[in-house]
């Protein structure tokens, strides 16, 4: 979706700049100045778009690394939880056995 939007925006920007250049040839010099300003602005926007694309790629990579880490750690945590439950169950059974021996 993002490349499609980029193509559309580039096409629209190019069309606007082309129109302004054509109009500037037949009108006053102020249109030429405006056209040059738009070309500079377009370059700035394209640079910012490239920076944002790089930031997006890095953020997606960090998210994928986080998912991978989560998937690696979860089985370990589940096993640890089961081991703790069994340990507490054994301790509880030992305490109950000790109480029964004392009360007997």
Asked if residue 23 is part of any domain, the answer here is yes
Closest CA to 37 of 21, 50, 23, 22: 21
Asked if residue 51 is part of any domain, the answer here is yes
- The pLDDT confidence band at residue 5, using thresholds 50, 70 and 90, is confident
**Which residue segment(s) compose the domain that 18 sits in?**
2-73
Three-point CA angle 5, 11, 14, nearest 5°: 140
> What is the tally of structural domains in the chain?
1
Both structure tokens of 51: 């920076």
Q: What is the pLDDT of residues 31-82, one digit of tens each?
A: 678 878 999 999 999 999 999 999 999 999 999 999 999 998 998 888 888 8
Distance CA 2, CA 10 (A): 12
Residue 34 near residue 22 (C-beta atoms within 8 A): no
Asked if residue 39 is part of any domain, the answer here is yes
Asked if residue 12 is part of any domain, the answer here is yes
Asked if residue 15 is part of any domain, the answer here is yes
Higher pLDDT, 10 or 23: 10
Residue 31 near residue 23 (C-beta atoms within 8 A): yes
pLDDT over threshold 90, residue 20: no
Asked if residue 92 is part of any domain, the answer here is no
Percent of the chain exceeding pLDDT 90 equals 32
Q: Is the pTM of this model over 0.85?
A: no
Asked if residue 43 is part of any domain, the answer here is yes
């Amino acid at each position: 979706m993002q490349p499609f939007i980029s193509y559309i925006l580039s096409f629209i920007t190019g069309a606007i700049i082309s129109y302004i250049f054509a109009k500037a040839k037949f009108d006053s010099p102020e249109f030429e100045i405006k056209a040059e300003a738009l070309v500079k602005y377009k370059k700035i926007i394209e640079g910012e778009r490239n920076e944002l694309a790089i930031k997006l790629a890095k953020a997606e990579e960090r998210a994928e690394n986080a998912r991978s880490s989560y998937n690696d750690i979860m089985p370990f945590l589940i096993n640890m939880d089961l081991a703790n439950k069994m340990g507490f169950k054994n301790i509880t059974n030992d305490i109950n056995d000790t109480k029964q021996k004392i009360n007997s």
